């Protein structure tokens, strides 16, 4: 699909008109009669502009008009989901030429966040989850290279809108690629698969990628990552993606991102129940967010250095698996008593964080992980947990989350919780053993391996990386975190 801007219709085909519910007064209804060809009375009766409400109108000349309801006051996520749902539902019926008319939306409604969400919704509406179906149908013509989608917007906002849509194209292309990676099962996705994706992306978009294989991990002493991988025949890797801006400035901030990359999680010796274990292919959502953010930064040529580190492994089970009670040594030299092998994400992040701190000294350090069921109990599926000792960083990340609709909610990280990770035999233990405050104690564990970095934040995205959507009948990947991190990086300019 080619996405372009215009101030007036330039091609025939289908027309999509988004309508605010609060705007369905007599004057607005009257303005819809010309494009739809329907009388005021019929329009007022058949279309109320509720969120996601759609009224298709087939005209006598063979063209089609679709009224898309937005509800009273659409949130950032409402914009995204309304357009994504519409285009997903109608993509096989839409022609190869579609126009979306935004000219009737007030400027204070059509904000930067709204337009970005509209663009992403349109592009993501073409996603196809049927990755391995043998009878997969052909791509709808709108979503082929021959497809043309034109966005109509006022002449005075063309430059503003073009900048946003250029960013949308990069975000959407990256996110769609990583949705495929996240939705792939473990037999199609290993730690090396993540490394290969990153290597190819770095080659195409001009950033450096280094991959430490098992021998290198052993040589450099990443014992925590190695301990989690012991039960798998698939070797672990540490992926390092380093985007350095080419503007020649020595004053660019350095942002360090660390993402959990467990390509499948059985729980190890502390094995999970079978219910929903098949969804543990999603346990690399943090890795996807980090790798996506580095790729987007490079493609947008942002004047910010971004380093992404992903410790990647399977957490499987056999006679070599790490056992509860074992004591392992991390990259930083700190020892960890393994209480629960299903608390493996924090263990591999310990080495990822330590490697970042010792080798790159970033100005800001952020880790992202599908880490705990506890955060889902606390926040459900609507927000990720935010943990940081820095009020300034908390504010920056929360503003970025609010602007993108990828919500964060700050939870405490007080030293009162440090008692829960004290070990009798090692420097720290990986699980408190208590059925409470699990997300907080996990964050306290990670804090140990930040070496008191003043601008560190942990994002527990267990409830937001996979979700119910129109794409399928089971939970599937959301791409959570890529847009949020991109907005945060833009805020550093």
Binding residues for Mn(2+): 260, 265, 283, 342, 344
Q: For residue 317, what are the contacts with CB-CB under 8 A and spacing of at least 6?
A: 231, 266, 267, 268, 269, 271
Instruction: Please give the Cα distance from 335 to 451 (Å, whole number).
Output: 14
Q: Which of 101, 20, 17, 11 is nearest to 55 (CA)?
A: 17
267: left (phi over 0), alpha (psi -120 to 50) or beta: left
Instruction: Please give the Cα distance from 292 to 433 (Å, whole number).
Output: 34
Instruction: Please give the Cα distance from 440 to 381 (Å, whole number).
Output: 17
Instruction: Please give the Cα distance from 362 to 454 (Å, whole number).
Output: 11
Instruction: Please give the Cα distance from 337 to 427 (Å, whole number).
Output: 8
Catalytic residues: 272, 346
Distance of CA 133 to CAs 117, 277, 350, Å?
A: 30, 21, 38
**Binding-site residue ranges:** 260, 265, 283, 342, 344
Largest alpha-carbon pair distance within the chain? Answer: 80
**Residue 191, CB-side half-sphere exposure with 13 Å CA sphere:** 31
Give the dihedral of Cα atoms 312, 409, 340, 428; nearest 10 deg.
Answer: 90
Distance of CA 18 to CAs 310, 340, 442, Å?
A: 40, 51, 44
């Amino acid at each position: 699909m080619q996405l372009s801007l215009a101030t007036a219709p330039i091609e025939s085909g289908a027309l999509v008109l988004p309508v605010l519910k609060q705007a369905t007064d007599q004057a607005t209804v009257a303005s819809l009669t010309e494009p739809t060809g329907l009388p005021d009375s019929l329009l007022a009766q058949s279309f109320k502009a509720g969120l996601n409400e759609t009224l298709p109108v087939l005209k006598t000349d063979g063209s089609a008009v679709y009224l898309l309801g937005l509800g009273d006051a659409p949130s950032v996520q409402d914009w995204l989901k309304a357009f994504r749902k519409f285009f997903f539902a109608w993509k096989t019926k839409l022609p190869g030429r579609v126009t979306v008319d935004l000219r009737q939306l007030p400027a204070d409604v059509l904000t930067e966040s709204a337009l970005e969400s509209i663009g992403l919704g349109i592009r993501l509406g073409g996603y196809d989850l049927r990755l391995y179906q043998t009878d997969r149908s052909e791509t709808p013509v709108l979503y082929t290279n021959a497809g043309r989608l034109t966005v109509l917007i006022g002449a005075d906002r063309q430059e503003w809108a073009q900048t946003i849509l250029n960013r949308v194209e990069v975000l959407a292309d990256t996110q769609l690629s990583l949705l495929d990676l996240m939705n792939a099962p473990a037999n199609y996705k290993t730690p090396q698969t993540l490394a290969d994706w990153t290597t190819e992306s770095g080659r195409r978009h001009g950033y450096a990628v280094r991959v430490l294989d098992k021998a290198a991990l052993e040589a450099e002493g990443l014992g925590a990552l190695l301990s989690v991988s012991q039960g798998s025949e698939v070797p672990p890797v540490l992926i390092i993606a380093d985007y350095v801006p080419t503007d020649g400035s020595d004053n660019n901030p350095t942002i360090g991102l660390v993402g959990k990359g467990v390509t499948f999680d059985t729980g190890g010796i502390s094995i999970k129940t079978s219910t929903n274990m098949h969804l543990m292919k999603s346990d690399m959502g943090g890795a996807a967010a980090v790798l996506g953010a580095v790729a987007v930064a490079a493609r947008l040529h942002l004047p910010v250095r971004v380093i992404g580190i992903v410790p990647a492994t399977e957490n499987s089970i056999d006679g070599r698996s790490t056992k509860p009670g074992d004591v392992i040594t991390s990259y930083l030299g700190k020892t960890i008593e393994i209480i629960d092998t299903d608390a493996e994400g924090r263990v591999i992040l310990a080495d990822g964080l330590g490697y970042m701190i010792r080798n790159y000294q970033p100005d800001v350090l952020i880790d992202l992980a599908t880490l705990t069921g506890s955060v889902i109990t606390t926040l459900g599926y609507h927000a990720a947990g935010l943990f940081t000792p820095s009020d300034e960083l908390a504010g920056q990340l929360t503003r970025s989350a609010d602007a993108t609709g990828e919500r964060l909610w700050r939870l405490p990280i007080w030293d009162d919780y440090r008692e829960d990770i004290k070990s009798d035999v090692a420097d720290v233990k990986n699980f408190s053993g208590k059925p409470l405050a699990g997300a907080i104690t996990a964050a306290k564990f990670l804090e140990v391996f930040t070496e008191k970095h003043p601008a560190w934040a942990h994002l527990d995205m267990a409830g937001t990386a996979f979700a119910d959507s129109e794409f399928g009948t089971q939970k599937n990947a959301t791409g959570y975190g890529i847009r949020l991190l991109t907005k945060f990086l833009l805020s550093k300019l």
